């Protein structure tokens, strides 16, 4: 069976995507709606805090809840890491995804000042990928062992690791 296409929701999401792109042209590079009706905003890394604050505070877009903060490693690109923020609006019952990019050495602004929930998520991204977050209150390892070297979720880190246990 095939999931039925929900045209109405797709139109609403693309209308909202155009609305946000019209208000923030300085940071938004691309807006797309996936075939599963998921809105994605593709951002320049300088615009993380402005865009997240706008989505949290604006009356038409009260995305008060940060559902997830992850990273994706695509080693063939110049900026190999793609940081993904998933936001949820309780007032309007809708979700949005905000994506940024960075490479191994460039720091990215921390979202903790906008959403307190980003604290441990950013520690996890630092630990697993090595993306440094500027202005994070307490950026240290969270999942790996105390003396662990390396960033496990990177694509060039082997599955069984470097150290024999």
Partner 1 sequence: MFMFSMQTTGLVGLAVAENPHERLRILYTKILGVLQNIPKDAAYRKYTEQIVNQRFNLVQTETDVQKLQDKLNSGHIEEVIVQAENELSLARKMMQWKPWEPLVEEPPSDQWRWPI
Among 78, 146, 158, 160, contact with partner 1 (rule: CB under 8 A): 78
- 106 forms part of the interface with partner 1 (CB under 8 A): no
Considering only 47-55, 117-125, 128-136, 156-164, which stretch makes contact with partner 1 by CB under 8 A?
47-55
Contacts of 45 (CB under 8 A, 6+ apart): 83, 100, 101, 102, 106, 108, 109
Which element (helix H / strand E) includes 157? none
**Residue 42 engages partner 1 in binding (rule: CB under 8 A):** yes
Count of residues in contact with partner 1, rule CB under 8 A: 31
Instruction: Please state the closest distance from residue 21 (CB atom) to partner 1, in A.
Output: 9
C-beta neighbour count of 68 within 10 angstroms? 13
| Least CB distance to partner 1 at residue 57 (A) | 4
Q: How far is the CB of 34 from partner 1 (least distance, A)?
A: 10
Q: Which of 55, 72, 57 is nearest to 17 (CA)?
A: 55
Q: Which residues contact 98 (CB under 8 A, 6 or more apart)?
A: 40, 41, 43, 48, 51, 52, 55, 84, 85, 87
Which residues are near partner 1 by CB under 8 A? 19, 22-30, 42, 44, 46-47, 50, 53-54, 56-60, 62, 74, 76-79, 91, 99, 101
């Amino acid at each position: 069976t095939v999931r039925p296409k929900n045209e109405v929701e797709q139109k609403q999401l693309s209308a909202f995507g155009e609305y946000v792109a019209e208000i923030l042209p300085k940071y938004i590079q691309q807006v797309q709606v996936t075939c599963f009706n998921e809105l994605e905003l593709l951002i320049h890394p300088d615009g993380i805090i402005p865009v997240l604050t706008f989505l949290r505070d604006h009356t038409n877009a009260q995305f008060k809840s940060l559902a997830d903060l992850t990273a994706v490693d695509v080693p063939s690109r110049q900026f190999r890491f793609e940081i993904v923020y998933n936001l949820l609006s309780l007032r309007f019952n809708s979700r949005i995804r905000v994506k940024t990019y960075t490479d191994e050495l460039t720091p990215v602004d921390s979202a903790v000042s906008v959403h307190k929930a980003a604290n441990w998520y950013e520690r996890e991204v630092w630990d697993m990928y090595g993306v440094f977050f500027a202005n994070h209150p307490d950026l240290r390892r969270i999942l790996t062992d105390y003396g662990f070297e390396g960033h496990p979720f990177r694509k060039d880190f082997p599955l069984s690791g470097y150290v024999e246990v």
